[in-house]
Every structure is written in C-alpha cells, then in structure tokens.
Structure 1
Amino acid sequence: MIKLLILDLDKTLLRDDGTISKEDKNAIQLCKEKGIKTSIISGRNEESMIDIVKELDLFKSVHIGVNGAILIDYKNGIKELVTIDNDVYSFLVKKFNEENRDFMPLNKDGYFYDKKGPLYEDVITWIKEESLKKGDLSTLKDCYRISVRFENEKDLEHLKSYLPKSMYGTVDRNVYDIRPTKVNKFTGLKELMKHYNVTKDEIATIGDQGSDIELLKNTKYSFAVKNASEDAKKAAKFLLNKTNNENAVSEMIKIILKA
C-alpha cells in the first residue's frame, strides 16, 4: 500500500512555463483525500519552493530540498543533513576564481553571487531575483551546493579533473551542480521516511534527470516522465507515456490508485 507520494518539480510536476496543470493539482488533491501523504523533493531551496507548496496546499507536509541536503518543515524549521566541507569549498572557490568562472553557491542564507553573468540570468528564471544575495563568495561557510557554468564537454571534463572525491556533480544544460558525494535525493528521502514512519516499499516517486536516479532506483514504485533522461528512465521501475507538459503526474497517480 502506498502511503507517501514524492514529487519532483522541474520538468516533472512543473510544465515548461513553470505552472502546474489543473489535472495534476486535482490528482494530488485526490491522493490527499485518500490519506496518501504528499511531499516535494527538489534541487530548489525552501525559499524557491514555498509558493508551490502553498499552491498545492502542502504547507503542513515536510519536504526535501537542495537534492537531499535539507529537510524542510515550514512550521518548525529547516534541518540541515549534509553541507560541503569548508576546506573543500575554499579550494573550489579558489580554482573557480583563478579560471574566472561564473558560479553561485547556496547555503542556509540563500543563493549568492558576485556578478550578474549567464548563470545569474538562468537562476532568476525559477527564483525571485530579489532573494539572491550579492557578496564575497570566498567567505561563505557550510554551503549545500555550488552551481558553476562550463562552456563545452572539454571544459566540463576539466572541471571534473580537479573535483575532490568527496564531491560529485550533475549536469543541467551548461551548469554543473556540485555537492557532497554522500548526499542525494534518496539521502533526504531516508530522513523523510523516519519522519513519516514509512518504508521505501510504501512510497511512489517520480523524476526526470540525473539527480533523481538514486531516488528512482531505491523505491519500489518509481516513475520516469516521458521527457526524462535515459539514465533516469533506466533507474525507474515504470515509464510514463506523458511528459511534464501533458499531466505526467496525473498519469502516475491514476496508476498507483488503481494498484
């Protein structure tokens, strides 16, 4: 029996224009009426998720942010699960500055930048511009993630060449999101499982890309949207016929309710 529904946001629940379809909203509401708890799992932080949480009337639920680095309880506060070692962070920032790279770190205080480059322009497509913070990136502590731009595959391989073993990255367009190796979305889900007292066989998950792989691999009822990456499709137990623009979440919910 499925007791918990876990929803990825970008390119999964959210359509390409950033909205949620009426069909998907109604399906999520139906799950709630049937007693299935619903939580969001995302690479976003608590600030960039809150409007969506309110829209779906999930303010009382606990959610997973920054790809598993934090547990978000809007009523009782944020629980940090994993942060980047400060010495590792300092090393990476030094390298990025030497190579004049466009990068933005994230910690409990939000997203930081020192210049408005292409990465900044990308980030403000999904987070409010006024919430971004200008500052000295070298002095930040306890960051969850560093997003850094790269030019091409050769440049990406160069980035990977000096990435410490304690860190790994996932690619979205020309952005390499770097985080501690010991954190992923399933790391966060394990904490959420404790909170809700459920097992991984009582959870339905849905995703679309590399950051969802561990989540999809480690849950019994895992779904990949039609527009998912090939790696995500291989990790999922079920493949959907619809994309994020075609009510894929609603399709998944119909399947799990029949089951």
Structure 2
Amino acid sequence: MIKLFVTDLDGTLLGADHYIKNEDIDALNRMIEDGPPLAVASGRMDHEIIEVLKRVGVNGHRVSQNGAFVFDNEGTQIHAKTFDSELAQRIIQAVDKEPMIKTVSTADETFTKESNRFVDMISEQMFHDIIIQPDLNEKVGHTITPSKIALHGIEADVMKAAKRIEELFGKEIDSFVSHETCVDMMPKSINKQTGLRQLIEGFGIQPDEIACVGDSFNDLSMFEMTPYSYAMSTAHDQVKEKASTVVDHVHEAIEDLDKKGLLSKKEQAADI
C-alpha cells in the first residue's frame, strides 16, 4: 500500500506562470482527505513549496532544493545541508567561465552577478526576486553559504554544461539537469532520494510504500526508490524510460494508484 505520495513541481504539478490544473488540485485534496499524505520534492526553495501548497489548499511534507532541506508537514526541519566553503569557491570560479546565467541559492535567497533580461525571465518563474550581487564570486563561501549553484540557458548549452560539470566535479558533488533550461549543482549525496529517505525514516515506512511523479533528471533518484514511479509524458525520453508509468497529469497518477487499490486509508497512514 502507498503511504506517501510525492510530487515534483516544475513541469509536473506546476506549469508555466505558476499554473496548477484544477483536476490536480481536486485529486490531491481527495487523496489527502481519504488516504496517504503528500510530500513535495522540488529543486525550489522551501518557501516556494509552501506557497504552492497554499494554492493547492493542502498541507504537506517538503523536500526542497533537491534534498538540501527537509521539513515535515508541521514545519519541523529534519535535514539541512550546504556546500563546504572551499568547494563552493572552486565551483563558482570554474562555472564563471560558462556562457550562461549563474545563480547561487542559500536557504531562502537566490543571487546572481548582474541583471539582464534572462535573469528577469528566470525571476518571473520564481516566487521571489533574484538578488543582484556584483561581487558574488568573492562572497560565496564567506558571507553567502550556498546550498545550490545553478546554470541556466537553452537546452543544448545546459546538456553540454552538465557534462563538463560532471567531468570537473563528479566525485565531489551531485549535479543533474533539473529542467531543460537548468543544471543544478548540489553537495555530494544530496538529491531527492536522500531527502525523502531522511523524511520517511522518521515515519517507519519503506521506500516501496511511496509513489512519486516527476518530469526531469533530478527526479530519477526518487524513481529508483519505488516501483510506483510516474513520469510526465512531456519528460525527456531518458527520464520516461526510468519510470514505471507515463502520465499526462498528476491526477492521472493518483487515479492509477486508486484503481489498483494501492492508496492506503487514513487510519493506515495516521502516523505519517
């Protein structure tokens, strides 16, 4: 039985301009009322996940910044991880040569070196403004402690950058394409799976008692946890190949679990 339902945000539950389908909202509310609770696992910041949950009208556990921060549905922090200062400095110096937008995220803020129309476009998809910090490189690892460093650009550049980052820092960090326009760099062993494991260990449930839905490469680690993984039909082919089922919408994943009789009832998930 499924005792926790996990959804990604961008490209999954959350569309362009922060759009959320009414069918997904209704399905999530019905599921939580009668059965297992919800967790959101996203590359976004925790306060952004909270805002999405408010818009959906539900409460939920939160795995933010690809597993760097984990909170339960009462707001208790379960886990937090940021970059070592020396490593963060080396990364920011190395990626400074990349012809892409660079952002540095802390627990609740995002920084970049200069303002331009591309930064404005990125900001429009966030729930907060990007802070322009001209001396960002000098502050990283000192007054700015990163939890995530990201490069933004067109898909072709993102895929090339992801390969170069893997070659340079593959043994020291976790990196993955979180969206076709973004490659994320995280502290080693920080990903959605490790974040979810931190969460479910306290509930005494097993990985195969969760179901998850996502659309990008940063969702693959949670797909590996359970046989009940769902990929969005808009996902990259390599992502869809790793999921057990492909769906067009989040509510279809919930409906599929329900049809299979896999959604645990409230009393079975009372401690989660």
Q: For residue 254 of structure 1, what is the amino acid of its counterpart?
A: E
Displacement of 1:77 in angstroms is 4.6
Give the root-mean-square deviation of aligned CA atoms.
Answer: 2.4
How far apart in 2 are the matches of 1:164 and 1:225? 27
| 1:209–1:231 CA contact under 8 A, matched in 2 | no
Label 1:128 to 1:24 Cα distance change in 2 as closer, same or farther (>3 A): closer
Q: Residues 119 and 3 of structure 1: is their aligned pair in 2 closer, same or farther, counting only changes over 3 Å?
A: same
Q: What's the secondary structure of 1:127's corresponding residue?
A: coil
The range that moved more, 149-158 or 15-24, is 149-158
Give the aligned partner of residue 225 of structure 1.
232
Matched residue count: 251
Listed as ranges, the matches of 1:99-178 within 5 Å are: 102-117=101-116, 119-130=118-129, 132-135=130-133, 136-137=135-136, 138-141=138-141, 142-149=145-152, 152=157, 157-163=163-169, 165-171=171-177, 172-178=179-185
Report if the CA contact (8 A) 2:78-2:199 is conserved: no
TM-score, structure 2 as length reference: 0.82
In structure 2, give the amino acid aligned to 1:213. L
Shift of 1:121: 2.5
Q: Which residue of 1 aligns with 2:91?
A: 92
Deviation at 1:74, TM superposition (A): 6.7
Measure the CA separation in 2 of the matches of 1:223 and 1:98.
37
Shift, 1:229, TM fit: 1.4
Q: Does structure 1 conserve the Cα–Cα contact (< 8 Å) formed by 2:29 and 2:58?
A: no
Percent identity over paired residues: 25
Q: Secondary structure in 1 aligned to 2:105?
A: strand
Amino acid at match of 1:36: P
Q: Structure 2 vs 1, CA of residues 56 and 83 (structure 1 numbering), >3 Å: closer, same or farther?
A: same
Please report how far the alpha carbon of residue 104 of structure 1 lies from its aligned counterpart in structure 2 after TM superposition. Answer: 0.9
Structure 1 residues 158 and 185, CA gap change in structure 2 (3 angstroms):
closer
C-alpha deviations, 1:60-94, integer Å up to 9, x for none? x3211011111034744544433222111111222
- CA, structure 1 residues 85+189, in 2 after alignment: closer, same or farther (shift >3 Å)? same
* Deviation sequence 1:174-230 (CA, Å, 0-9, x none): 432111231111011101112333211211100111000111121121111111112
Q: Does 1:214 align with 2:214?
A: no
**Structure 1 pair 101–210 and aligned structure 2 pair: CA distance change class (3 A):** closer
Contact map agreement 1:88 1:164 (CA 8 A) in 2: no
For 1:46-69, what per-residue CA distance to the aligned partner results, in whole angstroms no more than 9, with x for missing partners?
Answer: 12222211122333x321101111
Aligned to 1:257: 258
Q: Residues of 2 paired with 1:51 and 1:100: CA distance?
A: 32
Partner of 1:235: helix, strand, or coil?
A: coil
Q: Whole-Å Cα distance in 2 between the matches of residues 157 and 224 of structure 1?
A: 23
Task: Provide the TM-score with structure 1 as the length reference.
Answer: 0.86
Name the stretch that deviates more: 144-153 or 206-215.
Answer: 144-153
| Corresponding residue for residue 16 of structure 1 | 16
User: What corresponds to 1:50 in structure 2?
Assistant: 50
Structure 1 stretches lacking a partner, 5+ long: 243-247
Structure 1 residue aligned with 2:241: 234
Output the CA distance in 1 between the equivalents of 2:213 and 2:237.
14
